[in-house]
Structure 1
Amino acid sequence: MRELMTVLLDFAFYYPLLMSFVWLSGGLIYYLRWERGEPLRIEPPVLPHAPFVTLIVPCHNEGEQVRETIAHLDAQRYPHFEIIAVNDGSTDDTGAQLDELQAQFPRLRVIHFASNQGKAMGLRMAAMAARGDFLVCVDGDALLDDYATHWLVSHMVGSPRVGAVTGNPRIRNRSTLLGKLQVGEFSSIIGLIKRAQRVYGRVFTVSGVIACFRRSALHDVGYWNTDMVTEDIDISWRLQMRHWDIRYEPNALCWILMPETLRGLWKQRLRWAQGGVEVTLRYLPELLRWRRRRMWPVALEYLLSLVWAYVMLAIVSLWLVGIFVVLPPPLRIATLLPQWHGVVLGIVCLLQFGISTLIDRRYETRVGRNYYWMIWYPLTYWLLSTATTVAALPKALLKRKGTRAVWVSPDRGVR
């Protein structure tokens, strides 16, 4: 028992430490190879030709944001594109606003669903109606940077094996502590992980809020599945299992709204965690084949993160039980307060935040002002990650296969 507890405690400490160094090393390699020496704001590369592109925005109850979103899509500096908006059974005035916007923006076409069919179905229908060979998909609250489409398409025309390119989401609302933490998270954690995964060969998921897809690649894998709670993770795994390449383009900026209440953040992260579990459970048997070996590091990292969450649950549970019951020494957890190992983890996390913030300055010059708030992020992130992962596993296991994933309007935060 003592040996088992030692292994579990060591795993709880060394796993996040190891992953921090993996992300740091991968992020630095990406920076040295593709970003070093470039000015803070560079012009998009010259394309040999500009293929026709379809910009897709699925909407459900986006009445407060949809005008801004469509206006930014229409303002793209890319020469040849159309816009397709899908009104997915909205109960507010989203549909009426989209109909009005068609007169203002000739490039815009609107598809109306009578009832809530889910984001995946909206994307599928828009893809069927699209005239472009490349589809840039954004959320209904996203403000796309003027040159984002140009940056995304540059990867597509540069290599026929690129099936998808994920962009660089930036947080718009940052008036609360949760908002400031997420600004740092997207630059210091998510951006660094995307860079590292791009270097090491496989990306866990494209960003559902901004991604570009090759239409032939989508056709190859059967488009988006309508029964997965996170269609972006699912399509990313299926594309890569069919040997399509997925890339990360940090210059493709997209400004988004994020939850700024604990309830909204919990619901969002629980959905993300459940989506990861669903994808892993569905495709793990297929991943055991030798032909899928390049997906093994991504799958292994996720499985280890799942184990880590339950190890942390066991440690916290033993500590709570130990308050009321005298446990034998091997099972006794004296305190949850950081000891020397906690200090080491904290220092490594701040190093990671500092380096990733310096890398990220070219995309948002004043992002460093959020570094102070990131001091509080490790505790918040680990608690939230543990709780949502623990809750997501039974939800994914008990979910009936084939149940359609429909829209649930998220918390858009304080602006």
Structure 2
Amino acid sequence: MANVLFYIALILIWVMLLYHMFLMQGGYMHFRNFEKVIPEWEKNMKDLPTVSIFIPAHNEEVVIHQTLTAMSRLYYPKELLEVIVINDNSSDRTGEIAQKFADKYPFIRVLETKPPNKGKGKSSALNEALANSTGEIICVYDADNTPESKAVWYLVMGLINDPKAAAMVGKFRVINAAQTWLTRFINIETICFQWMAQGGRWKWFKVATIPGTNFAIRRHIIEGLGGWDVKALAEDTELTIRVYNQGHHIRFFPKAITWEQEPETLGVWWKQRTRWARGNQYVVLKFLKQITTLKRKRIIFDLFYFFFTYFLFFFGVILSNVLFIINLFYDLQLSIGNVAIALWILAFLLFLGEVMITLSIEKNEMNRKNFFYVIFMYFTYSQMWIVLVISSLYQEIKRMIFKEEVKWYKTERFSQSDQGGKKDEKK
């Protein structure tokens, strides 16, 4: 029995590793080709739509000045632009700082949330802005983001030239990547997500996921869907499923770049990633219950990917670890010891290879320092995710059983005074 369980665990792990190798190849191919359409697309940038940019902000005084400075420099006709800072029940100087920008720039304004949306989290704040805006295109940026000057231009360009796309997704990079060992890990993780999960899935399956920031969606689409789900901690993933189920697609266009701050301490990382994991688990469980009524078969495939990632893959890793530990103290009569060691070494080398190749897409990221960080990451950061997913699943199941209210955790920000040097135009 132990041998059978061990084989099941190895199969689950290797399916995920090989799938990500496949995505890495697709991401690299997308990187080589996505800019080729831009010269032709530029010709259609004449009758531009109005754009509303939503910036949900709760106690963001540490970062909001730099974010709004970036917004004031956006390359887009200002008469067609409105930047809305949604001051959601802040108790610090967020509203005061934002109002100074509103006084200086006519296209920036501050929106104070009101009941029932006040203090309820990001989805409620976005719904408040949706009801108080006019743009034909809605863009969303987190309050710690500094988009490059043409980010919104490229998002709109994608929607103009791809009429079947409901939403256009840009690329985000880590502005504080060099601050701590943790932000270096997150930087590697982020690059892999951009080019594997986003670029690879778009290349092979024409599927991408709406992130929490740096995306544009057509107003009539989001209004037709009834706005954002206030019960979803991962409102971006939940919205993705509904968009695809309506028969639209979401395009990944990495020319639109924003820089965002990532957690610099383990405590902040744990709380943020727990919210992400619980949010994605909520989405999977929500839509798996509706799987027979979903209209679009493509999204069933994506649901299975999330289910595999947050349930089956981690189950396989946990199962293999448990069997290994038990076998140290009690002979389970595992007959695949040498095979298991060989497969583990191959799995590690495959992980190392696919991550380093993905890092090569971004300028200056495939280097000796990151090579050693990737090795260290495999034995530390990747294992931390296992514990986090178990904890998140326990909390989410408990919430569902006892019908607990969803509590939104707002990620703590850090001073950005030493983080500006990282920004530059990337490949």
Which TM-score applies when normalising by structure 2?
A: 0.86
Aligned-pair identity in percent equals 22
Aligned match of 2:370: 371
- What is the CA-CA distance between 1:52 and the residue it aligns to? 1.0
Q: Which amino acid aligns with 2:356?
A: G
Contact 1:87–1:95 (CA under 8 A) maintained in structure 2: yes
Aligned match of 1:314: 319
Matched length: 404
Q: Which amino acid aligns with 2:149?
A: D
Contact 1:273–1:392 (CA under 8 A) maintained in structure 2: yes
| SS of structure 2 residue aligned to 1:183 | helix
- Whole-Å separation in 2 of the counterparts to 1:151 and 1:353: 27
Contact 1:116–1:407 (CA under 8 A) maintained in structure 2: no
Aligned match of 2:217: 213
- Whole-Å separation in 1 of the counterparts to 2:30 and 2:196: 9
Q: 40, 53, 57: which one pairs with 1:55?
A: 53
- Whole-Å separation in 2 of the counterparts to 1:213 and 1:167: 12
| SS of structure 1 residue aligned to 2:253 | strand
- Deviation track 1:326-371 (CA, whole Å, cap 9, x = no partner) reads 24314x9979xx93323322322232223222323xxxx3333463
- Deviation track 1:279-301 (CA, whole Å, cap 9, x = no partner) reads 01111132334732111221122
Structure 1: segments with no counterpart, 5+ residues: none
- Deviation track 1:168-188 (CA, whole Å, cap 9, x = no partner) reads 111011221111222222223
Aligned match of 2:253: 249
Instruction: Give the 3 Å change call, closer, same or farther, for CA 152–110 of structure 1 in structure 2.
Output: same
- Deviation track 1:106-146 (CA, whole Å, cap 9, x = no partner) reads 21111113652211111111111111110110000100110
Q: Does 1:384 align with 2:384?
A: yes
| SS of structure 2 residue aligned to 1:399 | helix
| More deviation, 161-170/22-31 | 22-31
| SS of structure 2 residue aligned to 1:103 | helix
- Whole-Å separation in 2 of the counterparts to 1:202 and 1:396: 30
Instruction: Give the 3 Å change call, closer, same or farther, for CA 203–91 of structure 1 in structure 2.
Output: farther
- What is the CA-CA distance between 1:406 and the residue it aligns to? 3.1
Aligned match of 1:155: 158
| More deviation, 59-68/27-36 | 27-36
| SS of structure 1 residue aligned to 2:361 | helix
| More deviation, 399-408/378-387 | 399-408
- What is the CA-CA distance between 1:307 and the residue it aligns to? 1.2
Which TM-score applies when normalising by structure 1?
A: 0.89
Instruction: Give the 3 Å change call, closer, same or farther, for CA 254–43 of structure 1 in structure 2.
Output: farther
Aligned match of 2:342: 340
Contact 1:149–1:252 (CA under 8 A) maintained in structure 2: yes
- What is the CA-CA distance between 1:386 and the residue it aligns to? 1.7
Aligned match of 1:178: 182
- Whole-Å separation in 2 of the counterparts to 1:297 and 1:26: 17
Where do residues 10-409 of structure 1 align in structure 2 (5 Å cutoff)?
Answer: 10-35=10-35, 45-46=42-43, 47-79=45-77, 80-113=80-113, 115-173=118-176, 174-201=178-205, 203=207, 205-289=209-293, 291-305=295-309, 306-323=311-328, 325-330=329-334, 339-360=341-362, 365-369=363-367, 371-372=370-371, 373-400=373-400, 403-409=405-411
Instruction: Give the 3 Å change call, closer, same or farther, for CA 333–384 of structure 1 in structure 2.
Output: farther
- Whole-Å separation in 2 of the counterparts to 1:58 and 1:196: 29
Structure 2: segments with no counterpart, 5+ residues: 419-427
Q: Which amino acid aligns with 2:42?
A: P
Contact 2:268–2:411 (CA under 8 A) maintained in structure 1: no
| SS of structure 2 residue aligned to 1:217 | helix
- What is the CA-CA distance between 1:85 and the residue it aligns to? 0.5
- Whole-Å separation in 1 of the counterparts to 2:36 and 2:289: 40
Q: Which amino acid aligns with 2:159?
A: M
Contact 2:27–2:199 (CA under 8 A) maintained in structure 1: yes
- Deviation track 1:378-413 (CA, whole Å, cap 9, x = no partner) reads 333431332222222222222245835434343548
Instruction: Give the 3 Å change call, closer, same or farther, for CA 204–303 of structure 1 in structure 2.
Output: farther
- What is the CA-CA distance between 1:2 and the residue it aligns to? 4.4
Instruction: Give the 3 Å change call, closer, same or farther, for CA 69–215 of structure 1 in structure 2.
Output: same
Aligned match of 2:424: none
Q: Which amino acid aligns with 1:27?
A: G
Instruction: Give the 3 Å change call, closer, same or farther, for CA 381–36 of structure 1 in structure 2.
Output: farther
